[in-house]
Amino acid sequence: MTTPVLRKPRSTWTPGQIALTIVAAALSLIWVAPLAWALSTSLKTPTESVTSPHWIPDHFTLDSWDKVFEAGNIPNWFVNSVVVSVCVTVIVLLVASLAGYGFARTEFRGKSALLALTMAGLMFSPAILGVPLFTTVQSLGMVDTYWGMILPQCAPAAMVYILYKFFQSLPKELEEAAFIDGAGRWRIFFTIVLPLSKPSLSAVGIFTFIASWNNFIWPYMVTNNPDLMTMPNGIATVQNAFGIVWPQLMAGGLIAGLPLIIVFVFFQSQIVRGVAHTGLAGQ
């Protein structure tokens, strides 16, 4: 760790540290409070939830969580979210690492033009070109299908760029040595290059998974059938037939949000490194 511990022998609890820690704690409290409020609401009865706000429920009840799991579409949407995010992540990792390697290490006609075209793709998103993207997917007959949700998320120019930069920074010698030993270039890629790229690949994978799990706008456009919706989309567009029941809304939201938060708690340093890595690559 690069913690600036300047005066080791003395206690680390200097007055400055105490003040800083208090500020940090206060800010953290503010940042966590909305989530705590969601949890508190989800443990109240619907009637209690709309009374004057108070943090500790008078009557703890898991009723809303039960209801959300039993009656709603939420377990269904959860499966859909997993299916879509896993497929997107696997395809993106495969496709983007191949393309990044292709750009970094191989020669072919039109390479620089294709690279420029890829860079231009950094400027597009479903938010900007959603309508024509929808009509394209519509004409491919993929509206309301898993593939319609998955494939358009699988051409991220940014990830290709990140891996391209990474492969460029790898020393060539290992690949050359393997080649001299008679390995083909596909074998070199899969058995030498990919294992060397684990940190970058996991960064790209983590980032892709988060983005896909939380992607709202594209699944919103391309799925209409509530059976096929992902968590974010379903939560926003499908109503409880009995109106707004805040505890259930909050329970559903926590179910959608908790998996990533739990994963984050366990893999904090990898994820932090991953996000920083993918973000900083744009520098």
Partner 1 sequence: MGQPGLNRRQLLGAAGGLAVAASFGFAALGSGADALASSARTRVRYWNLFSGGDGGNMVAMVDAFHKANPDVAVKASTLTWGGPYYTKLAMAAAGNRAPDLAVMHQGRVPGFAPGRLLDPWDMDLLTKYGVREADFNPVLWKRGIVDGKLYALPLDIHVQLNFYRKDVCEKAGLLDADGRLPAATSPDDWFEILKAAKGQLKKGQQTLGLHANDQNFSWWFFVAFYQQLGGTYFNDDQTQVTFDTDKATQVLEFLRKNVTEGYVTVGAADGEAFIAGSPFTWEGNWSVPYFNGEKIAYGAQPLPPVFGTPATHAESHSFVLPHQADRGGAANEGAHMLAAYMVKHATAWAGGGHVPAYLPTFKDPAYLKLTPQNEYSRPAMEHPATEPHIWFAGSTGVLAQRIGPVVAASNVGSAKPDAAARRMKSELRKLLAAKNPMDGRTAAQELKGAGA
Partner 2 sequence: MSSTTVVGAKAVRPRTATATDSARLRWGRRLQHGGWFVAPFFVLYGLFVIVPVVRGLYLSFTDANISGDHTSFIGLSNYREALKDPLVWDSLWHSVQFTLEVVPCIVVVALLMALIAHHTVHFKWLWRLCFFAPFLLPSAVVGNLWWWLFQPTNGMVNHVLGLDTPWLTQKSTAMLAVVIATLWWTVGFSFLLYLAALQNIPQHLYEAAELDGANAFQRMLHITVPNLRNITGLVFALQILASLQVFDQAVVMYQFGPGPEESTRTFVQYTLEQGFTSYRVGYASAISFILFLIIAVVALGRMWLLRNREEGAAR
Task: Single out the residue of 41, 64, 80, 153 in contact with partner 1 (rule: CB under 8 A).
Answer: 80
Asked if 227 touches partner 1 (CB under 8 A), the answer is: yes
Of 236 and 280, which has the nearer Cβ to partner 1? 236
* Nearest C-alpha neighbor of 201 from the set 212, 216, 190: 190
User: Apex CA 165: angle with CA 162 and CA 167, to 5°?
Assistant: 105
Phi, psi of 240 (to 5 degrees): -70, 135
State which residue, 144 or 179, has the beta carbon closest to partner 1.
144
Positive or negative: CA dihedral 183, 187, 193, 199:
negative
* Nearer residue to partner 1 within complex by CB, 86 or 254: 86
Q: Which is nearer to partner 2, 63 or 155 (CB)?
A: 155
Report the chain's C-alpha Rg in angstroms: 24
Region of 51 (left: φ > 0; alpha: ψ -120 to 50; beta: rest) is beta
- Categorise residue 108: left if φ over 0, alpha if ψ from -120 to 50, beta otherwise: beta
82 near partner 1, rule: CB under 8 A: yes
Cα 222 from Cα 218, distance rounded (Å): 6
Nearer to partner 1, 11 or 239 (CB): 239
If one asks whether residue 144 binds partner 1 (CB under 8 A), the answer comes out as yes
Reduced to 3 states, what is the DSSP secondary structure of residue 172?
coil
Residues 230-259, one symbol each (x = binds partner 1 by CB under 8 A, - = not), give ------xxxxxxxxx---------------
d(CA 59, CA 40): 11
- 76 scored as a contact of partner 1 (CB under 8 A): yes
The answer to the question of residue 145 lying near partner 1 (CB under 8 A) is: yes
Q: Which stretch binds partner 1 (CB under 8 A): 6-14, 121-129, 143-151, 179-187?
A: 143-151
Residue 267 near which of partner 2, partner 1, none (CB within 5-8 Å, type-dependent): none
From the list partner 1, partner 2, none, pick the one residue 144 interacts with, judged by a Cβ distance below 5 to 8 Å according to partner type: partner 1
Nearer to partner 1, 102 or 148 (CB): 148
Which amino acid does the sequence have at 191? T
Q: Which does 131 bind (CB under 5 to 8 A by kind): partner 1, partner 2, none?
A: partner 2
Q: Which helix (H) or strand (E) holds 258?
A: helix 246-266
| Cβ atoms 129, 69 nearer than 8 A | no
225 binds, among partner 2, partner 1, none (CB under 5 to 8 A by kind): partner 1
Residues that bind partner 1 (CB under 8 A): 73, 75-76, 79-80, 82-84, 86-87, 90, 134, 138, 141, 143-147, 150, 221, 224-228, 236-244
